[in-house]
Structure 1
Amino acid sequence: MRILTRYILGEILSHALIGCALFTFILFMPRLPQILEMVVRNSSSFSSAFEVFLFLLPNLFWVTIPMSVLVGILLGLSRLAADSEIIAMRASGLGIGYFVRVASIVAVAGALLGTVNSLWVAPRANQAILEMQQSLAASQASYQIQPRVFYEDFHDKVLYVQDVRSGTGAANWKQIFMADVSDPAAPKITTAESATVVNDSSLELLMRLRNGEQHEGVPGHPDQYNVSTFDTTDLPLTLSPQGDVHLGRMDTAVYAIPTRTLLQRIHQPDNKRFLIELNNRFAYPAACLVLMLVGVPLGVMSRRGGKSSGFVFTLLLVIIYYVLSYTGVALARQDKLPPTLAVWLANIIFTIAGSFLLWQMATGGGVIAAIAGLTARTPKSRGSGIATVLHDNGSHLTHLLERRPRSVRKAYRGAFPRILDAYVMREFLTMFLMVLCGFVMLMLVFTFFELVGDIIRNHIALTTVGLYLVNLTPSMLYTIAPLAVLIAVLVTFGVLNRNSEIVAMKATGISLYRLVIPILVIAGTLAISLFAFDEFYLPQANRRQEQLRSTIKGRPPQTFLHPEQKWIFGQPRAGERGRIFYYQFFDHDAAEFANLSIFEFDPMTFALSRRIFAGRVYWDRSAGSWVFQNGWVREFQGANQKDFREFKDTTFGEIHEEPGYFSKESLQSQEMNFGQLDRYIRDLRQSGFDTMRLRVALWHKLAYPLVAVVMAMLAIPFALSMGRRGSLTGIAVAIGVALTYWMVMGLFEAMGNVNYLPAPLAAWSSDVLFGLTGGYLLLKTPT
């Protein structure tokens, strides 16, 4: 192999590998919290989580291998074109065909890897995911009960515990209320003063109840009612198996069918989905070849744009290709195009376009010249780099300083920002904005890919899709900003170090700690801005994008209410008995209950003192009270029934909870700012709802913006330790650091969500851990 060929291949391959890792990381990030939640919540080890990660990779490689081939060709050739190396090669007699032959080596390798992945690896990985989903649906880790929360996760049981005290091998509960809802119309109630609980198995808790009562009625016969007491009794609690466990992208098992079986099924009468899947398994690997045909001429002609124009071309071509691909598949599913033609539509169009561009490049056509003109940018008038900056401004700055008194000159030297600060800040912000915009664009593209089928199937207007993407962008900016800080710091300081500019700064007496001040100032400003952004704008944008997504998915408008939450703790007042409400339906607009039961009990022992049932209960606005119809009331004194009466129409003035108390909105944490979420949590906790996940999200709103500062502190020592290896190494290190951080952050938050860690500790642990690591490495770096 010629030296020149190896040189070009090295450029293309290095960019392709980094691109593959970067695209895979972006696609994997949304799935990471789900995997970590599985590790914490289920009886799964970290090896099982690693298996899930490996099983998901083949599905991601379907998309990322063609993209990495394209980005490798475009960025590699663009870098050579920007340094005029392409001009030198062509002047030595190498035509466009030579670059096609070299790039085709990478394209063919990518196509072969993609074919092996789609035909053999991915189906087996998908089958393994399906089997793992089935095993997860039948398994559950030991459950940790929180006090003052209603739990409906048990088989035909609802549990409420007033106080929980953990112990070695067992837990001690105080004041227990349990309803057996095998017959929802007549729940059997058990109360107890205390209980000792042990895990009998992964799916069962064994309770030993003490000093309790059991209440049981007969449906349709309110006069028949039994009350029994006990000193001790043992009751098992069986956890319901998890139902909706989804680890992969699969909506159907067709993705897990072996290719040999798929070839047999395409001859069946109803074979459309099998034919689409079979063609997909060949079309996506072939995309490496057709994208190469377009990427070579665009990369060769990017003389002035360099890597930036190559990056823009990559985003543009990826958007066009996958929009055409997903649109074709959607049209095939609706019988508007033959499956084979629809799946290969994007490849056919790109093959024609690539052949045309290559012909224009070989013949010097005007189309290539016009495209090249679009990528041109005005060259810098005086070069770049710290030496140029000092050279350009040196004489003018010296003249100004000499005209000032010495005291003024000393003050100026200590000012912030100085010329050097402005230079570092400009380089950092340029890279930060480019990375942030690029990542957000990629995430928007992938989101659009997922929705193309729904858009066509539900006939959604493009204006609606555009509004959805516009309202989704703020959330993506908030999520990606810390990662963009990490990459921007690594690349900026890596380039400064490679160009010996940091050595020059140190030689002039500038400490490393003084050099990083502008970066930390920007990171701190960004952290404050992210918190303000989340406080004042992001929640309303998230609410809007959730509504638009429901429209695109063809779902009815959501009310964001909990129609299924039938148990709620009453609003307590001093000196009153405790009160639990159970209902089968509540119309919040009409303020009306159907089949409402009220259980009143002694707060000290949890023994029932009164039970009320009514077939219909409505709110009388004029009287300001509830009207109970067609029901009965029964009062108890210990295990004895003190009184019983039936009624047609009555009121209970002591029941003071108003209709708004029962309309508990089920809002997402990202749809509220810090103050709103804090008030929402207090309201739900008082009513007996599980708020642990929301409390973690509340502290996360404070902790997450500071990730920008943590990433900056962590990136600086890594960047300085890379030596002269450049920006590609910086991006590779950034991917590793970011993946590690997001895994640790997701793991701590998952532990907090299931009450294994306090909410503040779950939200702040990753910031503290990585912040201390970054600070230590920064202090150990030679200044």
Structure 2
Amino acid sequence: MPKQSLTPAAVSEKHEKPCQPRTGLFPLWSRLDSYIFGEINRPFMMAMLVYNGIFFIKTLAAVAELSGGKFEIPYSLLILFFVSEIPEFLFITITMSFLFAALAGMGRLSTDSEILAPQVVGVSFWRLSRPVFVYGGLLTLFLLVIANWIGPMLNRVWLNESRNFSEIAMPNIQPGVINPLGKSMLYVDRVEEDRLADLIFVDVSEEKEEILIAEHASIYENRDLDLFRAVKIDLLKDQTMKTYATTEMTLSLPMPAALDGLGLKGAPRDLLDTPRLKRYLAQQTDPKRKRDLEIELYQRLFNPLICLVFALYAVPLGAKHARIRKGSGFGTSLVLIGFYFIVSKIARDAASQDKIHLLVGMAGPTLVFLAGGVILQVGKNRWWSQPLRRLQDRILYVMYKPINKLFNTLKKKKTQDAPQGGAAQTFIFPSRLDIYVTRSFLSIFFLVQCSLLVLALLVEYTQVGKYVTRNQIAPDVVLRYLGFKLPEMLDLTFFLCLLISTLILFAVMSKYQEVTAVRAAGGSLQRLCLPLVFCGLGASIFNFYISNTFLPYANRRATVLRNEIRQKSESTFSQDVWLKTAPGEIVNFQVYDHRTKRLLGVRRFRIGKDQPAMVERTELPQVVFRNNQWKAAVPGKRWAFHRDSPDQAMKPTVSAIAENDPVSLNIKHEDLMRKRRKPSEFSLKELRGYIRYVRELGYVEPSFQTELNVKFAQPLVPLIMMMLAMPLGFQFGRRGTFFGVGIGLVAGLLFLGLFEALRQMGGSGLVHPIVAGWSVVVLFGFFSLYRFVNLE
């Protein structure tokens, strides 16, 4: 069949048809834009997982500390509190994640020379920045919605729900110890099946003092207890006493004192969205209050815009043809974010103190960074950027030349001193490969750790910043507080940094075929991971040492400085305290004056051993510590209760206590001066002694026993995290590197989340302390060991 010829018109039509409709050389959104958008999206998701994961775990701890184990909180309220806390740090994490993702995405395109192809066909750096601007604009809109509407709405919902919960909160009753309930006290000797045995309840009000003693009690509903074989004693204001005996009665427990510390967000700046806040501002007449509300409004407007501003920095700082591990954006994003928040904080404080105009203080830092980004973008697209880049390279060469010369001299000397000949060694440790892997791991770890520490310190400073301005705290106090807070932040981020560094190291080595070269030379993956196994062991030993030496001291100093910043007194066993001083004996006092060694408002209760009944009640307005014993500073009274027969009601006999009469309280002066501390403020040895101490006072804190087990189990976490990351770092190819890192991050955050969740559940008494401290560590430890053994 003869070949059909085409006319010139047909040829022209054939070539033009696939191109219809023509959109020009630079369409509004092309495949290149989608490709760059995707390159930013992957590291952004990874960074959000990392940065938010740390604060999710920290917020989980704050949620668990709401009750401190003193009362039961429904899961719905815990979840609501967790969600309401997210907007507080979401602005920082989104901004930092976007800046890192933009720099990392453009850096990868530059490293693989993919950015050269668009430039060859005439695509400028301005055009390549378009998807970055779109990504930053979308995040800016999201943050604007969060700051102006969603955040205040969540605070309002949390406030309403927490108020409703305060009406039905049920105390978490612990047997054998004192359970303070505001101005009241509940003591249960033991639990028999589902009933509370030998219950003592004391309720003090302005009108009377009510004492209830029951043989058994069972929970009825909400805060109600059903009492069986109960005796009620009412001491009226005129010092007369009435006693009642009943076979069954109902007791409504008062509000737990811990509910006062729920931290309700009730200020208008926290609850009102922007339109309502503007109307509320128009009604204010106090200049200081108006300025505070104006600052809040400007913050909601200008702070989210920084994502769009940082989009200008992606192409100029990311397209440098540097290797990923050296130009991933961690260091650059760290410097930019830290500098921006420092400048914005200084400007905001100056504006709040009328040192500069309010608009200049709130908008100035954003405009300065906007100008810097525009200059970088213009310089990247103009002729004078090349001379500046050459000048920068020349300056760096002059700075690093002496250091390189020193290293070359040491390397040459080491080569000359090396023995010549001899039998070849089959196993050398550390080899050059081990040194290379260790050095690369430490460089990545340093960047990641610094990045997360800066982020953690920024969030911490934002939380205490309002107290600094309100209470006019000196800058050196704030700096010392942040300095002593740094070890706790290191302990919080240390494990996750080890995981991230291991994942990134092996992912990059896999991408550049370095792992393939090692295996082609006969090396195994386990041998390649050996230096990191030793690094993990070193990290575990370091964590154990620091958590039992410097960290408790730093936490105690940080607590003291935080109380100074917030102008809050330290918690001691010296104000409105209930103490179990001996078997069957409970002492309550209102205030202890340590200067004059006086106890004010002392009441002592003695309970019979054979049956639940009040044997004696002593009331002393003042007791003073003289000559190593307690003496009545003013006259007091003692009520002794007795029955003529078991079936008759109790009869009180009143006797007087004269001034200077000795009083047996079984309380040491040192005990009253000892401060209440958190478990994190103790080393292992100190924590064991403190647990015995509080038990002698009649208190039990499940969090202390749980923390004791955690202090033994936690040093294994660094090694487990690194061994968990090693197999995942080798998986997937070049296009799936971030996916492999993401899987490792999910596994690591799951491990840390479960570990922290069980830790808090153990602290609340819901899980046995041994299970809370060891279960997750043992489970993930065996899993990571199995994965490491089967690495090939």
Give yes or no for contact 1:148–1:685 (8 Å, CA) kept in 2.
no
1:149 aligned residue (174, 177, 197): 177
Q: 1:454 Cα shift? A: 4.0
Q: 1:618 Cα shift? A: 0.8
Question: CA, structure 1 residues 368+133, in 2 after alignment: closer, same or farther (shift >3 Å)?
Answer: farther
1:191 aligned residue (213, 233, 245): 213
The letter for the 1-side match of 2:304 is: P
1:113 aligned residue (127, 142, 147): 142
Q: Write the distance in 2 (CA, Å) between the matches of 1:585 and 1:323.
A: 43
Q: 1:15 Cα shift? A: 3.0
Q: 1:341 Cα shift? A: 3.6
Q: 1:748 Cα shift? A: 1.4
Deviation sequence 1:568-604 (CA, Å, 0-9, x none):
11146xxxxx322121221233221112122223334
Q: Provide the secondary structure at the position in 2 that maps to 1:645.
A: strand
Give yes or no for contact 1:491–1:726 (8 Å, CA) kept in 2.
no
Question: CA, structure 1 residues 225+134, in 2 after alignment: closer, same or farther (shift >3 Å)?
Answer: closer
1:219 aligned residue (233, 237, 240): 237
What is the correspondence of 1:574-589 to structure 2 with a 5 Å cutoff? 578-589=584-595
Q: 1:531 Cα shift? A: 1.4
What is the correspondence of 1:608-619 to structure 2 with a 5 Å cutoff? 608-619=614-625
Residue in 2 that maps onto 1:707: 717
Q: 1:533 Cα shift? A: 0.8
Q: 1:702 Cα shift? A: 1.7
State yes or no: 1:345 paired with 2:364: yes
Give yes or no for contact 2:98–2:136 (8 Å, CA) kept in 1.
yes
Q: Provide the secondary structure at the position in 2 that maps to 1:600.
A: strand
1:364 aligned residue (379, 384, 387): 384
1:243 aligned residue (242, 259, 267): 259
What is the correspondence of 1:239-318 to structure 2 with a 5 Å cutoff? 239-240=254-255, 243-244=259-260, 252-270=267-285, 271-300=290-319, 303=322, 307-308=326-327, 310-318=329-337
Residue in 1 that maps onto 2:186: 159
Deviation sequence 1:728-756 (CA, Å, 0-9, x none):
33542344223322332232123222212
TM-score (norm 1): 0.84
**Structure 2, unaligned stretches of length 5 or more?**
1-28, 405-410, 644-648
**Structure 1, unaligned stretches of length 5 or more?**
383-391, 573-577
Residue in 1 that maps onto 2:535: 522
The letter for the 1-side match of 2:634 is: Q
Q: Provide the secondary structure at the position in 2 that maps to 1:216.
A: strand
The letter for the 2-side match of 1:533 is: I
Q: 1:30 Cα shift? A: 2.2
Higher mean C-alpha deviation, range 535-544 or range 463-472 = 463-472
1:629 aligned residue (626, 631, 634): 634
Q: Write the distance in 2 (CA, Å) between the matches of 1:483 and 1:106.
A: 27
Q: Write the distance in 1 (CA, Å) between the matches of 2:199 and 2:587.
A: 16
TM-score (norm 2): 0.83
Give yes or no for contact 2:634–2:660 (8 Å, CA) kept in 1.
yes
Q: Write the distance in 2 (CA, Å) between the matches of 1:266 and 1:589.
A: 47
Q: 1:421 Cα shift? A: 3.8
Higher mean C-alpha deviation, range 83-92 or range 580-589 = 83-92
Residue in 2 that maps onto 1:325: 344
Deviation sequence 1:593-641 (CA, Å, 0-9, x none):
11212222333434333332222211112x6453453112233344655
Q: Provide the secondary structure at the position in 2 that maps to 1:146.
A: coil
Deviation sequence 1:30-71 (CA, Å, 0-9, x none):
2122345679964534x6655555555455443333333322
The letter for the 2-side match of 1:631 is: G
Q: Write the distance in 2 (CA, Å) between the matches of 1:691 and 1:172.
A: 19
Residue in 2 that maps onto 1:14: 42
Give yes or no for contact 2:226–2:251 (8 Å, CA) kept in 1.
yes
The letter for the 2-side match of 1:18 is: M
Question: CA, structure 1 residues 477+180, in 2 after alignment: closer, same or farther (shift >3 Å)?
Answer: same
Question: CA, structure 1 residues 38+733, in 2 after alignment: closer, same or farther (shift >3 Å)?
Answer: farther
Question: CA, structure 1 residues 640+290, in 2 after alignment: closer, same or farther (shift >3 Å)?
Answer: closer
Residue in 1 that maps onto 2:202: 179
What is the correspondence of 1:268-667 to structure 2 with a 5 Å cutoff? 268-270=283-285, 271-300=290-319, 303=322, 307-308=326-327, 310-361=329-380, 362-364=382-384, 402-404=421-423, 413-414=426-427, 416-506=429-519, 510-553=523-566, 555=567, 558-571=569-582, 578-621=584-627, 624-627=629-632, 629-638=634-643, 644-652=654-662, 655-667=665-677
Q: Provide the secondary structure at the position in 1 that maps to 2:596.
A: coil
The letter for the 2-side match of 1:599 is: F
Question: CA, structure 1 residues 427+264, in 2 after alignment: closer, same or farther (shift >3 Å)?
Answer: same
Give yes or no for contact 2:632–2:663 (8 Å, CA) kept in 1.
no
Q: 1:540 Cα shift? A: 1.3
Give yes or no for contact 1:127–1:256 (8 Å, CA) kept in 2.
yes
The letter for the 1-side match of 2:684 is: F
Q: Write the distance in 2 (CA, Å) between the matches of 1:653 and 1:239.
A: 31
Question: CA, structure 1 residues 501+247, in 2 after alignment: closer, same or farther (shift >3 Å)?
Answer: farther
Higher mean C-alpha deviation, range 52-61 or range 351-360 = 52-61
Q: Write the distance in 2 (CA, Å) between the matches of 1:262 and 1:657.
A: 54
Q: Write the distance in 1 (CA, Å) between the matches of 2:236 and 2:746.
A: 63
Q: Write the distance in 2 (CA, Å) between the matches of 1:277 and 1:656.
A: 54
The letter for the 1-side match of 2:74 is: S
The letter for the 2-side match of 1:182 is: S
Q: 1:692 Cα shift? A: 1.4
Give yes or no for contact 2:587–2:665 (8 Å, CA) kept in 1.
no
Residue in 2 that maps onto 1:389: none
The letter for the 1-side match of 2:618 is: I
Deviation sequence 1:530-577 (CA, Å, 0-9, x none):
111111111111122222333334x15x444133342111146xxxxx
Q: 1:726 Cα shift? A: 6.1
Q: 1:684 Cα shift? A: 0.7
Q: Write the distance in 2 (CA, Å) between the matches of 1:699 and 1:528.
A: 17
Say what the alpha-carbon RMSD is for the aligned residues. Answer: 3.8
Residue in 2 that maps onto 1:575: none
Residue in 1 that maps onto 2:21: none
Q: 1:683 Cα shift? A: 0.8
